[in-house]
Structure 1
């Protein structure tokens, strides 16, 4: 049966039940839970150290009001990293290649930052729509442009994450198919392609980490503008 190259991004089902629920819930089981003991194992120690370092780096530019978001942003960062990394394993499904899921993350969080800004400091939040020193004839056009750029932010967040992961997965599948086809015909070319495939896999691991970090970092920047 012929299948499309994009079938890998379709949500898999078993007995008519979508397996995306398992793919979404599984990452939380990958992290060991902290214990009340004074001495913990190395995995939990490294995990807590990395989470603390990331949280400190993310919360440093924010005022005290934004520190309430520390737990939410750190949890989102770990969740996106785990989903992206699990999606690189064979015979797995990556939920973050679905634009609907990424928009489900991006839109509510962006809207929350906007509502906080309009509630706490509406003058400053509205002031972002008009840069200081703008000539009077350009004021209407700039207000329209800044308003469009404001409302396009959640779409940019979701599309950026989706596009980067989708492109990487497509390249991996293309190279893997090329290695499989070329191996009996041209072994030397197949080995060279396999080397490129290995390097691309390392690149995709880096992309999975970086895109999760960029997603959360941009959310923190949007929050910084509104607190």
Structure 2
């Protein structure tokens, strides 16, 4: 019996105090298409098209001197997309709905960008703190505002992803729990609303993966 609405997000299955539900984070590896066949499948061709499109977009943002870094963000997009999508299936733990995972992704990325920028491009990073054309009287406030906005970036990345995943799953759970309490005449409306909400959550899973990856790419482009 569900003691709390948020208990669906608890990694409760464990052996020897090891929370095995977190293993679902790596289930997406098994869905990656293999490219060792003589003729590629439709899934392989579709995945190659998606990766090439993302690589081209990230390469445009990062510039020609940082082409190799774009592969990091395409891999990040794939990792988050598989976790978000698999979390919509029954009895699969959604690890991307936890700040433990989302902060683990966002914080090291942001910290590496900041350290790289301040060590190698100090003047460029200082110039970002004061936008061009700022009056002299407002410069201290702009430095404070820009500093705070830079510091909270990993939190905004992590909270945005986790909150969107939690919100959709909670709505699906709430509607699902209403089924036994509703009259038979309204069951069709409930099923229709569940299907529509599941379609919306599938779109959100893709969009949030893209948003996380593209914002990380934009943050990386600012340090060069």
Which blocks of at least 5 consecutive residues in structure 2 are unaligned? none
In 1, Cα distance between equivalents of 2:6 and 2:191? 22
Instruction: Say if 1:167 and 1:21 are closer, same or farther in 2 by CA, change over 3 A.
Output: closer
Higher mean Cα deviation, 47-56 or 215-224?
Answer: 47-56
Which blocks of at least 5 consecutive residues in structure 1 are unaligned? none
In the alignment, what sits opposite 1:18? 19
Q: Tell whether the 8 Å contact from 2:28 to 2:79 is kept in structure 1 after alignment.
A: yes
In the alignment, what sits opposite 2:87? 87
Backbone CA RMSD of aligned residues: 1.5
Partner SS for 1:128: helix
In the alignment, what sits opposite 1:166? 166
Aligned residues: 223
1:191 to 188, 191, 194: 188
What is the TM-score of this pair, normalised by structure 1?
0.92
Higher mean Cα deviation, 201-210 or 137-146?
Answer: 137-146
Instruction: Say if 1:41 and 1:190 are closer, same or farther in 2 by CA, change over 3 A.
Output: closer
In 2, Cα distance between equivalents of 1:224 and 1:180? 52
Residues 183-214 of structure 1 show CA distances to partners (whole Å, capped at 9, x for unaligned) of xxx12222212211110000000000000000
Q: Tell whether the 8 Å contact from 2:97 to 2:166 is kept in structure 1 after alignment.
A: yes
Q: Tell whether the 8 Å contact from 2:35 to 2:44 is kept in structure 1 after alignment.
A: yes
What is the TM-score of this pair, normalised by structure 2?
0.93
Q: 1:39-78 to 2 correspondence within 5 Å?
A: 39-78=39-78
In the alignment, what sits opposite 2:212? 215
